[in-house]
Amino acid sequence: MTNGSGEIAPILQIRDLRTSFVTSAGIVRAVDGVSFDVRPGEIFGLVGESGCGKSATCRSIIRLLPSHATTEGEVLLNGEDLLTAGAEAMRQVRGGEISMIFQDPMSALNPVLRVGEQVAEAVQAHRGVGRRAAWARALELLRLVGIPAPERRLREYPYQFSGGMRQRVLIAIALAGEPNVLLADEPTTALDVTIQDQILKLIVRLQRELGMSVILVSHDLAVIAHVCQRVAVMYAGQIVEQGEVRTVLRAPRHPYTMGLLASLPGIGARERYLQPIAGAPPSLLDPPSGCRFHPRCTYAVEQCRSWTPELLPVGPGHGAACWRQDAIRARVETTRIAVRETA
C-alpha cells in the first residue's frame, strides 16, 4: 500500500499518544505526546532509560493497561484507530494483528500448564482450528524458534526450560496468530550475553522470513544499532530524537542521545573514560517545566526551563527536540576530529 506521494504507507501510526495512571500520589503521565510511524517489514527501535515510558507505549498500542489508566491520541493500524475499537475487535487484534513479547518469560508463562498447551491455546484463539491441528501447529512453532527436541518439550512445564528457552516459547506464542506487527519489550533483559545474541538473531531471522514489522524496545543503544533501521529516543515519557539509526548514532542532535552514546564503551576507546549522565531521571508525577532533560543537560540555558520541546527537523527523516542544535553539532564535529587524531 502506498500513500499519495508514492511512498509505502506505514503499517502503524502513533499520533500524540498520551497515557496517564491515576495513583494515590497523583497522576503519572507515563506517555506524553508520543508520535512515530512503523513501516511494513522494518525493525523500529524504541530506546531510553528504565522508566521513560517505553513499555507503557507498547502496552498502550494494544490497550493492555490496568483500569486506572487513561489513553488519548491515535493508534492507527492500517488506517484503523485501535483506541476507538470495541472490546471484541481488540481481542482479535491482540495476537492476531499485533503480538507482544514480554520482558520476563517466567511471569508471562503459566507455571501449571504444559508449554504445548499454552502455545496451542494461542493457536486456537487466533486461527480457529481444532485441538489436534493446534498441537501440530504448536510443534511447528517450537521448531521454528529453534527449541531442540520439540516433540518432547511440548509436554514439559516452563520451570523445566532455561531462561533463553522460555523466551523462545514466548516468541512462539507471539507468532501463533501470524501477526503483522511484533512488539518486543526488552526481550533479552534477563538473559546472559550469549543468549541475548541468540534471541536477537532469532527475532531478526523471523522478521525477515515472515515479513513482520517489529518494534524493539531496549535501553541498550548497541542492540538498537545492530538490529534496527530507525530509532526513537525516549526520555521522561517523550520522544526527544528520531531518525535513521546510522544518522542518529553518528550525528546526534539531542544532549540525551549524546549522553547515552558517551556512556557506552566503543571499539578502540581504551583511553576514553565512560561518561555517565549526571543526575537521575525526573519523576513523572511532577516533571520539570520546559525541556524535561534540562536539569541534567550541560547545554541548558534559561530558555530551556520554559520552552516546550518539539521535534525540530535536522535533516531528511531526522528530528530532535532541542533548539541548541548548532552548539551540539559543533561539539559532535570537534569530538569526531579529536577521535580521528588519536586513533
Mean pLDDT by 10 residues, the chain (343 residues): 66 98 95 96 95 95 95 96 95 94 88 96 91 96 95 96 93 94 89 87 94 94 92 96 95 92 66 77 92 93 87 93 86 56 40
Q: Give the pairing of strands 43-47 and 230-235.
A: parallel
- CA-CA distance, 142 to 165, in Å (whole number)? 10
Q: What is the pLDDT of residue 4?
A: 54
Count up the domains in the chain and report the number: 1
- Would you say residue 297 lies in a domain? yes
Q: Which residues constitute the domain of residue 292? A: 254-343
DSSP letter at 305? G
- Residue 108: other Cβ atoms inside 10 A: 17
- Would you say residue 314 lies in a domain? yes
For residue 64, give the amino acid letter. Answer: L
The count of C-alpha atoms lying within 13 angstroms of the C-alpha of 178, restricted to the half-sphere facing its C-beta, is 8
- Would you say residue 200 lies in a domain? no
- Would you say residue 190 lies in a domain? no
- Would you say residue 286 lies in a domain? yes
For residue 58, give the amino acid letter. Answer: C
- Would you say residue 163 lies in a domain? no
Compute CA distances 37 → 4, 47, 246, 315, whole Å.
16, 15, 18, 17
- Would you say residue 145 lies in a domain? no
- Would you say residue 270 lies in a domain? yes
